[in-house]
A and B are shown apart, each in its own frame.
Chain A
Amino acid sequence: MFEIILGAISLGLLWAIMTIGVYITYRILDIADLTVEGSIAMGAAIAAFSIFNGMNPFVATCLAFVGGMLAGLVTGILHTKLKIPALLAGILTMIALYSVNLRIMGKANLSLLRIDTVFTPMENLGLSPTYSVMLFGFISVMAIVGLLYWFFGTEIGCAIRATGNNPQMARAQGINTNNMIILGLVISNGLVALSGSLIAQSQSFADIQMGIGSIVIGLASVIIGEVIFGTRNFFNCLISLVLGAITYRIIIALVLKMGMPANDLKLFTAITVAIALSLPVFKTYLRPIKKSMNGGDL
């Protein structure tokens, strides 16, 4: 049991990076960006192929990050310059990436068994695989949280936040909203691909299918984090995302442990997210009931 939780925490830390990427588009830019389904697999594909062919795993991971940024750039240009609605632009890139990822790997999956990854140096220090993933994940997540906290406090970062919040106002204040949307998508997908590359290295294989449903997992983690751990300020939000991603992994590990067939996992996640997203509607239904129970005063 303890080991299952430990595994969930270490995997959750890697998914936290992806969750932060989803947060940047979904909450800060106010765009549901489906590119992530392709870019997470792209990160895995680039890292797996490069490492398999003898590249230094750290360089390969950086390359995955750059690949994700390019995917974000494509969606950004489709959306802003070519005026395709954001949702559709993301879907187009996602579908295109499926073929691109197959091209990168040359086949549907690639094994990294008994090949050195970014986690190997820590394993060499005597840590178990789970603990090395946890330590490496923790360091990376904290570095990313720190960097993003700084970035979104800068002039450019504030301009991105304003663009997502009120594009009309942003343009009236001289902000090039198109460039800000592209920049946000680039950073977001870079992080998602980075996450994908680390996940592939921790599980020792990359699979063309691994992106399916990842946007929903990302959203579930964002919502769980926000609801349970709060959104008092931006730093609190970032930490909540990390804890949300870990909590999601623990929940999944527990329901699997309790005997839910793994095949039902995506259905379970979709229902969870649907309920979480529709909570505001249920609250308005519940209010009159509560009111009558409290004798009319609320």
Chain B
Amino acid sequence: MLVIKDIEKKFNAGTVNEKVALSGFSLSLTEGDFVTVIGGNGAGKSTFLNCVAGVFGVDKGSIQIDGLDVTKLPEHKRSAVIGRVFQDPMMGTAGNMGIEENLALAYRRGKTRSLSWGISNKEREIYKEYLSHLDLGLENRLHAKVGLLSGGQRQALTLLMATLKKPKLLLLDEHTAALDPKTADKVLQLSDRFVKEGNLTTLMVTHNMRHAIEHGNRLIMMHEGRVILDIKGEEKQQLTVEDLLKRFGQVSGEEFANDRALLS
């Protein structure tokens, strides 16, 4: 489904601040894979996700989604096949627009927009139905501005928007990091459910080792811009946080230095 070949990404190339964010990064996902991505600060996790989403281009290598080479495609065109949820709950929705308007924007992802009405009555019924599944009472507040919702509600809505038009690839970029633990768990459960129901190929970046282990069928660990661990299947199911720390030490020859990941 997703084939990444040998991509490289440098920031501030040719200056003293040059930073190699990704180098020789390769990864290939089969349909329905739910991969959690973990790594220390500056390991290149977010850069990797942003390269796939097209927020910026890569310096070398190629990215294919479902047989289509998207390496040179601008962000908005890739969005036709990619659903995304961001770390910042403010980022995934338009705060000045209503809940139904946000959903209507997502409903038209990948479609050429015309001068027909931005939202129809038929859609409203569909949205009500979907929103009621979120169990947040949003189905009765279709007109409410998204800016009035809590962070957790906004992330749940963003998740619904990302999956409303079934994406070929779902990118979750630390989407629970800004939420309190209880809300984070709820949003994670919701993510699990959406991924299962739609059999979505998913990449989930997280700082939380427990989340990385408990969710998905495959785990990759990144370090200095490349994949240093790739654990799947049976092995993934039996993984513990201690195992993961030990194996990180073996592979990288360093201590895992990320307080956020260890403390949570």
A and B associate: yes
A176 on interface, CB distance cutoff 8 Å: yes
B72 on interface, CB distance cutoff 8 Å: no
Q: Are B94 and A174 in contact (CB under 8 A)?
A: no
A177 on interface, CB distance cutoff 8 Å: yes
Residue from B53, B111, B113 with most neighbouring chain A CB atoms (10 Å) = B113
Interface majority SS (helix, strand, loop, mixed), chain B:
loop
Q: Are A165 and B109 in contact (CB under 8 A)?
A: no
| Contacts A161-B97, A162-B97; A176 near B118 (Cβ below 8 A) | no
B104 on interface, CB distance cutoff 8 Å: yes
Q: Are B77 and A174 in contact (CB under 8 A)?
A: yes
Q: Are A169 and B93 in contact (CB under 8 A)?
A: yes
**Complex CA–CA separation, A165 to B93 (angstroms):** 9
Q: Are A175 and B118 in contact (CB under 8 A)?
A: no
Number of interface residues, chain A, beta carbon within 8 A:
22
Q: State the Cβ distance, A65 to closest chain B Cβ, in Å.
A: 19
* Contacting residue for B79 out of A156, A158, A165, A173, CB 8 A: A173
**Complex CA–CA separation, A219 to B198 (angstroms):** 48
**Complex CA–CA separation, A175 to B161 (angstroms):** 14
Q: Are B106 and A173 in contact (CB under 8 A)?
A: yes
**Complex CA–CA separation, A159 to B106 (angstroms):** 10
Q: Which of B66-121 contact A (CB under 8 A)?
A: 74-77, 79-80, 82, 84, 86, 90-97, 101, 104-106, 108-111, 113-119
Q: Are B94 and A155 in contact (CB under 8 A)?
A: no
Q: Which of A141-190 contact B (CB under 8 A)?
A: 151, 153-159, 161-162, 165-166, 168-177
**Complex CA–CA separation, A287 to B194 (angstroms):** 45
Q: Are B94 and A166 in contact (CB under 8 A)?
A: yes
Q: State the Cβ distance, A237 to closest chain B Cβ, in Å.
A: 11
| Contacts A155-B117, A162-B97, A165-B97; A173 near B108 (Cβ below 8 A) | yes
* Contacting residue for B109 out of A157, A166, A173, CB 8 A: A173
| Contacts A165-B96, A166-B93, A169-B91; A174 near B110 (Cβ below 8 A) | yes
**Complex CA–CA separation, A161 to B92 (angstroms):** 15
Q: State the Cβ distance, A27 to closest chain B Cβ, in Å.
A: 9
Q: Are B76 and A177 in contact (CB under 8 A)?
A: yes
Q: Are A154 and B114 in contact (CB under 8 A)?
A: yes
Q: Are B118 and A174 in contact (CB under 8 A)?
A: no
| Contacts A162-B105, A174-B108; A169 near B94 (Cβ below 8 A) | yes
* Contacting residue for A175 out of B76, B101, B104, CB 8 A: B76
Kindly report which residue of chain A lies nearest to residue B107, judged by CB atoms.
Answer: A173
Q: Which of A217-268 contact B (CB under 8 A)?
A: none
Q: Are B101 and A173 in contact (CB under 8 A)?
A: no
Q: Are A173 and B161 in contact (CB under 8 A)?
A: yes
**Complex CA–CA separation, A189 to B94 (angstroms):** 25
The 10 A-B pairs at the shortest CB distance, nearest first, are namely A158-B118, A155-B113, A174-B79, A165-B94, A174-B109, A166-B94, A154-B115, A171-B76, A165-B96, A171-B75
Interface residues of B (CB under 8 A from A): 53, 74-77, 79-80, 82, 84, 86, 90-97, 101, 104-106, 108-111, 113-119, 161-162
Interface residues of A (CB under 8 A from B): 151, 153-159, 161-162, 165-166, 168-177
